[in-house]
Amino acid sequence: MSKIKIAIFGGSGYGGSELLRILLAHPNAEIVFVTANEHAGKTVTSVHKNLRGFTDLAFQKAPEDLSDIGDVDVAFFALPHGQALHLIPRLPGKVKAIDLSGDFRIDDAEIFKKYYALEHAGDIQSKFVYGLTETNREAIKTAKYIANPGCFATASLLAVAPMVKSGLLTGQIVVDAKTGSSGSGIKPAANTHHPQRMTSFYAYKPFSHQHVPEIQQHLAQVGNFDQKLVFMTHSLPVARGIFASCYFETSVELTNEDLANLYQHFYEDSFFVRMVEGSPDINWVKTTNFCDISVHSSGRNVVVFSAIDNLVKGAAGQAVQNMNLMFGLDETTGLKLVGTNP
Ligand SMILES: NC(=O)c1ccc[n+]([C@@H]2O[C@H](COP(=O)([O-])OP(=O)(O)OC[C@H]3O[C@@H](n4cnc5c(N)ncnc54)[C@H](OP(=O)(O)O)[C@@H]3O)[C@@H](O)[C@H]2O)c1
């Protein structure tokens, strides 16, 4: 197979850095160009020093005329919200696109406006497929445009989807999720800068996080979802990782074994979801594309824990997993990244 020719828009940030790390080692990928804004003109390895020895590419400004971006099969967008919205509609018709931002995740224009203060890009919105690989594989295989899920949404949906699909839920679903500081991107801000967070722990955006409608929308596609969702986000004093604790009440009593069977069956074809004993741990998923999940029950109460690396399964890794499917490759190609210990 000839190599997939790739453009990366926004390669100088954290998501772009991970796209480069994964794609430079991917056997079927060839990066044609990579853009940056303030870092345009610098070599990739002067910004991402972990990539020394792997590339001679330099960051360039995004081309003004996107209708002629050369021989590119797929473009990845790792830009702040509100940018891909204007860029993807201007790509040549033959170019596929995978957007890591929230620009195309929400189908309802009013809800999108409420959470992102942006207008939909127009008709192109209906051509986007939601890129949670494990629950949307068949649609992703034939998609031209992918709205890659948010990091919190990925950790939450992978934990919650099997319960919704089971049809056994009563009462509300509570998702209590925590993220590391790289979730806020590479530019420090007063309230998100790591020195402020590394010895601290706090909650933010109660009932208003932009991943709420995304999770609700996809759960309604996965199963018969009519529960109330309470979703809460917190800042963890770590650089990478998301941990979600998800609480449910079921209509019948379930044993741990019942739950384990339910999840194992749901994820039987999913290499990147690992069922674990006890608690998942951010340590064992960081730098990998894995989502570790554990399940626990007490009568009709169920708690499910999940852990991912926000920049890999929560962003660049899942984006490449989706690219693999869009180009007829095994979804694990270039993604069997073994974690580190410790
Ligand atoms: N961080 C995560 O855990 C995570 C997870 C899932 C999804 N996402 C989403 O992925 C996207 C990228 O996130 P990130 O964490 O990688 O952000 P980031 O570290 O802040 O990087 C942003 C990138 O966009 C470029 N950029 C910024 N302003 C620009 C402008 N005005 N015009 C053109 N390029 C501009 C930056 O280039 P310069 O640095 O050269 O200016 C950089 O390459 C966001 O939409 C985010 O919500 C992030």
Domains contained in the chain, CATH given: 4-149+313-326 (3.40.50.720), 152-309 (3.30.360.10)
For residue 288, give the DSSP letter: S
Contacts of residue 83, defined as CB under 8 A and 6 or more positions apart, other chains included, come to 9, 10, 77, 101, 103
pLDDT band at 158 (very low <50, low <70, confident <90, very high): very high
Helix ranges, 271-336 (H): 317-326
233 CA → ligand 1 middle, Å: 20
Phi–psi pair at 256, nearest 5 degrees = -60, -35
Residue tagged active-site, from 6, 34, 79, 151? 151
Number of C-beta neighbours around residue 60 at 10 A: 13
Give the nearest ligand 1 atom to 183 CA. Answer: 3
As for ligand 1, residues whose beta carbon falls within 6 Å of it are 10-16, 36-39, 78-81, 83, 100-101, 150-151, 182-183, 185-187, 310-311, 314-315
Give the nearest ligand 1 atom to 315 CA. Answer: 6
In the annotation, is 291 catalytic?
no
pLDDT band at 191 (very low <50, low <70, confident <90, very high): confident
pLDDT band at 1 (very low <50, low <70, confident <90, very high): confident
Mean pLDDT of 14-32: 98
Give the nearest ligand 1 atom to 16 CA. Answer: 16
pLDDT of 33-65, one tens digit each? 999 999 999 999 999 999 999 999 999 999 999
12 CA → ligand 1 middle, Å: 8
pLDDT of 115 = 97
Q: State pTM to two decimals.
A: 0.98
pLDDT of 205-249, one tens digit each? 999 999 999 999 999 999 999 889 999 999 999 999 999 999 999
Ligand 1: residue whose CA is nearest its atom 30 = 37
10 CA → ligand 1 middle, Å: 6
Distance CA 258, CA 276 (A): 15
pLDDT band at 289 (very low <50, low <70, confident <90, very high): very high
Mean pLDDT of 78-105: 97
